[in-house]
Structure 1
């Protein structure tokens, strides 16, 4: 038997004011994206903003549907928009925030497994980890380098890419 250990690290800040100017600005963009959430069923709004190498910002917000599986998370809305429109302009970072009127969020909300797998796919495509910034209105802010910190056993099968 071999025993293995996986460790992750992340930075925690009290609020966005402690970040550098570019990351603070991206958090503001994610908050703007939050306003376009279509979440009449859960009342749980999520906003995401991608900062591309060119400086362009790509937005996403969660989009619910009465047939729950038909909705899509904010992260994937932003990432798929990038993939369809700006795939030659690498993603540097993503800021993600959430808000609900129903209760106070006291810690950042992390991306779901499906969103993490999509983040991982695009990190692999551009051969570069993303800076992932997670925050909420009334809690700490977390900065993580790359999707593997959340999902260390990502699904990749190299043989699927062979012809």
Structure 2
């Protein structure tokens, strides 16, 4: 038996003001689209904005449904829309912002596991990392250089090809 140690490095910015201009502008788009989320059940609103290699920006927000598994997270709405509108164009980075109608979300909110897996698939296909920035309503912003920083043990094509 041997132990496997997994480490990751994330960058934490104290506020939007510390971000590079391009990233700050993308995060503002995520904040703005978050306000239009359809979240009548959880009251938890998430907005996502991504920028592609061709400098197009694609946004998404969470879309809930009374049949809870039928809803879709903001990150997947944005990434699937990018795949539909701009196939074969790489994603450079994504910004995510979360808020609640019931309380202040002050902690940077990373994507759920399903979104991480979906983003990994796109990262794997484009053979280049996707920088990911995430925050709550205000305050600190966390940056991951790659989806692999948030999902170090990946399940992708290589796993299925070994079956």
Range class of TM-score, shorter chain: over 0.9
| Structure 1 residue 137: Cα displacement | 2.3
Name the residue aligned to 2:65.
Answer: 65
Name the residue aligned to 1:158.
Answer: 158
Distance 1:75 1:18 in 2: 23
Task: Give the TM-score, by structure 1 length.
Answer: 0.94
Instruction: Give ranges in structure 1 of 5+ residues lacking alignment.
Output: none
| Structure 1 residue 161: Cα displacement | 6.1
Q: Which residues of 2 match residues 52-131 of structure 1 at below 5 A?
A: 52-131=52-131
SS in 2 for 1:93: strand
Task: Give the TM-score, by structure 2 length.
Answer: 0.94
Q: Is the 8 A contact 1:58 1:82 kept in 2?
A: yes
Q: Is the 8 A contact 1:105 1:139 kept in 2?
A: no
Distance 1:116 1:95 in 2: 13
Change (3 A) 1:67 1:130: same
Deviates more, 1:81-90 or 1:40-49: 81-90
Count of residue pairs the alignment pairs up? 162
- RMSD of aligned residue pairs (Cα, Å): 1.4
| Structure 1 residue 146: Cα displacement | 1.0
Instruction: Give ranges in structure 2 of 5+ residues lacking alignment.
Output: none
